[in-house]
Amino acid sequence: MDDYWNQYWNYSDIINRENKHAQVGRTIQGIPLEGWLWDKTIEFVFNHLDLELSMSALDLCAGNGLITEPLSQKVKFVIAVDCSKKFIDSINKKQLENTTAICCDARSFKFKDNFFDISICYFALQHFKVHESIELFRNIYHLMKPGGKFYIGDIPDLDRIWEFHSTDNYKSVFFESLERREPIIGTWYKKDTLINLSKYIGYSKQEIITQEKFMINNHYRFDMLLIK
Ligand SMILES: C[S@@+](CC[C@H](N)C(=O)[O-])C[C@H]1O[C@@H](n2cnc3c(N)ncnc32)[C@H](O)[C@@H]1O
């Protein structure tokens, strides 16, 4: 894993913010996302997954559990994986009956092959370089049952990078951050790169999902659903 992000999610001040959305950087001009808007976002994601109470789910790069907890109410069993010790501790503190949170690198997370019905990786693919995403997609492919669904949400869209860094000032901040090796967001992806990558790994179906207007990052991010 890129050491920068490991350090960032274990030692930077962001993880000590009071608000849970602020802790994972889900803010609009510095203001944390409101609960009702997150509930709608979760509903949007879950509607693509046909969740059932018999299912086993993997929440990858789970952060402080903002997806893990609602997911645990919809399925039989959840494993949440994140590289941030503080976030994993905060999930385990909730003592959710059917959930285990594990501190480790998502790419090297090992479990039984063909086990999970559902995997979700939301608002985190930017932390992986393209070659690391290949490893990640392959790892998840092995962990999921045939027919299992892998939802990758909130992926920065390379085709819209200059709509995001739109002013001269934002562009300067962006290039300065790259020079310092402290990227503001991380890796931006072209949709067809991820489609081709997932075909290369062997996923049988892939769908790009356009975010709805109410979703706070819809102007520069997209979602994707893969079927093993
Ligand atoms: C922006 S947060 C999103 C958290 C959560 N998915 C959500 O949407 O609320 C990104 C998370 O990815 C985790 N992360 C980044 N790289 C990782 C890796 N290689 N393995 C495991 N977790 C990772 C970070 O620790 C952080 O909690």
pTM of the full predicted structure? Answer: 0.97
Q: What does pLDDT average to over the chain? A: 96
Tens of pLDDT, residues 103-149: 999 978 999 999 999 999 999 999 999 999 999 999 999 999 999 99
Tens of pLDDT, residues 144-195: 999 999 999 999 999 999 999 999 999 999 999 999 988 999 999 999 999 9
Once rounded to an integer, what is the mean pLDDT over residues 85-112? Answer: 94
Ligand 1 center from residue 162 Cα (angstroms): 24
Burial of residue 35 (number of CB atoms within 10 Å: 0-12, 13-18, 19+): exposed
Tens of pLDDT, residues 204-220: 999 999 999 999 999 99
Q: What angle do CA 92, 122, 175 make, to 5 degrees?
A: 115
pLDDT at 2: 53
Give all domains of the chain, ordered by start, each with its CATH number: 3-227 (3.40.50.150)
Ligand 1 center from residue 213 Cα (angstroms): 24
Pocket mutation for ligand 1, best pick of 6, 84, 127 (most atoms within 8 Å of C-beta) = 127
CB distance 187 to 158 below 8 Å: no
